[in-house]
Amino acid sequence: VLGHAAVRFARKNRLPVVASVHTRFETYPRYYGLAILEGLVEAGLRRFYRRCDAIFAPSESMAQLLRDQRMNFDVGIWSRGVDRDIFAPDRRDPAWRRSLGIGDEEVAIGYVGRLVMEKGLDVFADAIDQLLRRGVRHRLLIVGDGPAREWFEKR
């Protein structure tokens, strides 16, 4: 609703409309037992994104998905990469890692976000399970909370 109001305002004021897409909102209904609504949600998103002058995705695979879904054909890439000069292994602070309980030989894996299934927690948990099976020493750093916290802690 807010997005459509923003488009109306922009059109009235002759401003370009640009959107960034980094969440698969059309998949959300299935996590709440309402998968039957996915088509309706996708149609609503398509209506909105087609009214945009351009949309941006964080990866080529997401951009292609948006094209495949006919959301908009002018889809650019807006990468949000990591500055490798700042986050370089030679800048690692062993004291800081130890203060968080991360061993010198452990891989630190972080998750920052709401703990909800639609954020792909099942995929994240499966990846952690793979590390355990392969004997990869690691430490999880989770920042966030949400209704799937208990589920995630049990995994």
pLDDT for the residue numbered 79: 79
Q: Does residue 123 register a pLDDT over 70?
A: yes
> Are both 31 and 60 inside the same structural domain?
yes
Residues 10 and 53 in one domain: yes
Same domain, 105 and 64: no
Domain C-terminal end among 28, 50, 77: 77
Residues 22 and 73 in one domain: yes
96 and 59 in a common domain: no
The answer, yes or no, to whether residue 57 has pLDDT greater than 80, is yes
Q: How confident is the model at residue 91 (pLDDT cuts 50, 70, 90)?
A: confident
| C-alpha closest to that of 44 among 9, 13, 77, 7 | 7
Dihedral pair phi/psi, residue 56, rounded to 5°: -125, 145
- 40 and 102 fall within a common domain: no
Share of the chain above pLDDT 70, in %: 99
pLDDT over threshold 90, residue 124: yes
Inform me whether the pLDDT recorded for 95 exceeds 70. Answer: yes
> Does the structure show a pLDDT above 70 at 1?
no
82 lies in a domain?
Answer: no
In a shared domain, residues 9 and 73? yes
Give the pLDDT score at 145. Answer: 95
Q: Within this chain, do residues 94 and 137 fall inside the same structural domain, yes or no?
A: yes
Listed in sequence order, the residues at least 6 apart from 135 whose beta carbon sits closer than 8 Å to its beta carbon are none
Q: For the chain, how many structural domains are there in total?
A: 2
Range of the domain at 105: 89-154
Decide which of 77, 103, 119 is a domain's last residue.
77
Which residue, 64, 87, 88, is CA-closest to 77? 64
Taking residues 10-18, report their average pLDDT: 94
- Same domain, yes or no: 70 and 99: no
Residue 80 has pLDDT above 80, yes or no: no
Per-residue confidence (pLDDT) for residue 17, from 0 to 100: 93
Whether residues 34 and 96 share a domain: the answer is no
